[in-house]
Amino acid sequence: MAWGVFVVLAACGCTNPDRPSGLAGDGSLLLSDAVVDFGPLPDAATRIDVVPVDPCRDSPCGPMERCGADVDGGRGSGNGIDDNCNGLVDELCGCTPGEMRPCFPGARDRRGVGACTDGVARCTELAAWIGNECRGATTPVEETCNQRDDDCDGALDEGLSDCASAVACPASVGAVPLVEFSYDGRAIDPMATAYRWSLSCPEGVAPCPAPTGEGAMLRVTVPRAGRYELTLESTRASGVQRCTFPMYAQGRGLRVELDWDRKGGINSVGADMDLHLAIIDRRRAQSSRWFTPDDCYFQTGRSPGGTVRWSVDDRDTRFAPSATSELCEGSPPPHGEMWRAAGRCWNPRLDVDDLVCDPAVTDGRDPRFCFSENAAVDDPPDDVTFRVGVNFYRDHGLCDGADARDDVVHPVLSVSCGGLLRASVGSVDDGLVAMSCRDNPLIGSANWTWIAADIRFSQNVCGARDCRVTPLRAGPGRFTACSRVGAEGDVCQDERGRVFVRRAGARPVDVEIAETP
């Protein structure tokens, strides 16, 4: 299985360059996604450089960004590279709102060399890449005395004098979400007399966990996938040395993470949101249903687990549990210990069910920490569609306050495939989702569930396994309009076409939100 290990080792900086169609892999019609008209394509006879596009290879500077699957000037999603060398990446190339993918705004020959690492590009609600933004990318800078290839030319500290006693600052390190990461600062600076570690978190990770190690030893547990930044300040007789480097936290297979902005319940008001992951599988005789063993959620996927019913029969090994507990024993207490006692990890599973938490806690190993809720499928097959839902389970005193703003919760879903962040659904780029506790006065399935996204796996054009994430939308006027998910009836859509259902437990996963052919 050709999953990359770190972002910088991805097989290529592209996904399938064709625009996503409205069809799922099983031929069923999905909800429509936005298409932006960028005007007529340039005529081939008038283009200066009309050459076949290979999205898996770098190319020299050309007159325009290479968006298409076949020739320059197409309307595909681009290749994550600044083809025309203007400092922008895939400007005006099409994409699916909320989609994310690796990018690199620097010179092609420096990508993945030395300290240079990919960043993440985001697709806006206008269905176009933010061409001047490649978040988290590390590009060449002037060499400093740190035993690192800062200018990404394959050499360390070249041309610097009196550099024998430099700190050995690593280019990057890798970690696993929810598993404690440790690093000995003496490997960076063995001559120091004191050490101080700090951690900077990606946008949306709040609270940001604080390192808990003593002396030179760093110990930290991060709650979700993403690019973090570690800084070590080491004290010598000559002064303080500073080393900053990225830490990539990545899981295996499919990882869906749910965050929201009103967590709490311990020492604070808040809301309990629940992540649901189900499958649409043509091999099944009957459709899957939410809030049943067909659905991976807190009732079926938590440790000790084992009640998710995705296999068709005893010969179906697509969702077999792992042979050991290595992939899940880092789950927050007490779940990690329970998986370890079971000796294996269920597949799929829910590593975290964030019921109540204390926003003031910053230790990522403390069970009171406000974790991201997540679902994991270690070896996702290509022949199913994974459908994601978010249920407003209940509020913890959120509606009791006088401030009307405390009534609204904004859930955001992050989807990673093979360790690479592929979409942020409900983000600012995709358009914030608003769910009100006043419109959800009951418990669980009786409240509203947002039917959020579909995920499918396949081999991409570069020969590596990848996934496509489709944020789900209904066409205009398909269902009753809902304002902040407060509508009569059991199905409604917001102003962006996102669909919400009430009493989801009575509904098959693959109905209610399909377009009429």
Quick one: 415 and 343 in the same domain?
A: yes
Summarize pLDDT for 230-240 with one digit per residue, the tens: 999 999 988 89
Quick one: 48 and 127 in the same domain?
A: yes
Does the residue 104 lie in any domain?
A: yes
Give, in order, the Cα–Cα distances in Å from 387 to each of 9, 28, 428, 454: 28, 13, 21, 5
Q: Give the whole-angstrom CA distance, residue 234 versus residue 193.
A: 7
Does the residue 86 lie in any domain?
A: yes
Element (H, E) at 395: strand 385-396
Does the residue 164 lie in any domain?
A: no
DSSP assignment of 417-435 equals ETTEEEEEETSTTT----E
Give ∠ CA 245-251-253 in degrees, rounded to 5: 140
Does the residue 96 lie in any domain?
A: yes
Beta strand 239-249 pairing with 173-175: parallel
Quick one: 74 and 186 in the same domain?
A: no
Domain of 387 in residue numbering reads as: 254-506
Summarize pLDDT for 21-63 with one digit per residue, the tens: 322 333 222 333 332 232 333 333 333 343 444 555 555 667 7
Element (H, E) at 276: strand 270-280
pLDDT band for 198, please (50, 70, 90 cuts).
very high
Quick one: 138 and 230 in the same domain?
A: no
Q: Which of 153-162, 280-289, 508-517 has the highest mean pLDDT?
A: 280-289
Quick one: 115 and 261 in the same domain?
A: no
Give, in order, the Cα–Cα distances in Å from 436 to each of 232, 262, 477: 42, 11, 22
| Contact in structure between 33 and 470 (CB atoms under 8 Å) | yes
Q: Is 491 exposed, middle or buried (0-12, 13-18, 19+ CB in 10 A)?
A: buried
DSSP assignment of 8-43 equals GG-S-S----SPP-SB-TTS-B----------PPPP
Quick one: 317 and 463 in the same domain?
A: yes
Give the number of other Cβ atoms within 10 Å of residue 360's Cβ. Answer: 12
Quote the DSSP letter at residue 312.
Answer: S
Q: Domains in the chain: how many in total?
A: 3
Alpha carbon 245 to its chain centroid, in Å, reads 21
Summarize pLDDT for 405-439 with one digit per residue, the tens: 668 999 999 999 988 888 899 988 778 999 988 88
Quick one: 358 and 220 in the same domain?
A: no
Element (H, E) at 335: helix 335-342
Which of 221, 249, 277 corresponds to the end of one domain? 249
Q: Give the whole-angstrom CA distance, residue 401 versus residue 62.
A: 58
Quick one: 426 and 489 in the same domain?
A: yes
Summarize pLDDT for 240-276 with one digit per residue, the tens: 989 999 999 988 899 999 999 989 888 888 899 999 9
pLDDT band for 484, please (50, 70, 90 cuts).
low
Q: Copy the structure tokens of residue 176.
A: 């696993």
Which of 143, 166, 195 corresponds to the end of one domain? 143
Q: What is the pLDDT of residue 19?
A: 29
Does the residue 512 lie in any domain?
A: no
Q: Give the whole-angstrom CA distance, residue 433 versus residue 408.
A: 10
Quick one: 340 and 450 in the same domain?
A: yes
Does the residue 172 lie in any domain?
A: no
Task: Go through the chain and tell me how many residues it has.
Answer: 517
| Contact in structure between 108 and 132 (CB atoms under 8 Å) | no
Does the residue 153 lie in any domain?
A: no
Q: What is the pLDDT of residue 41?
A: 34
Could you tell me which of 439, 446, 447 has the C-alpha nearest to residue 483? 439
CATH label of the domain that carries residue 199: 2.60.40.10
Element (H, E) at 257: strand 254-260
Quick one: 448 and 312 in the same domain?
A: yes
Quick one: 470 and 406 in the same domain?
A: yes
Which of 212, 229, 249 corresponds to the end of one domain? 249
Beta-strand ranges (E) seen in 114-225 are: 119-122, 173-175, 181-184, 194-200, 217-220
Average pLDDT of the residues in 60-89: 64
Quick one: 391 and 280 in the same domain?
A: yes
Q: Report which residue type is found at 453.
A: A
Q: Is 214 exposed, middle or buried (0-12, 13-18, 19+ CB in 10 A)?
A: exposed
pLDDT band for 106, please (50, 70, 90 cuts).
confident
Beta bridge partners of 397: 270
Quote the DSSP letter at residue 174.
Answer: E
Does the residue 343 lie in any domain?
A: yes
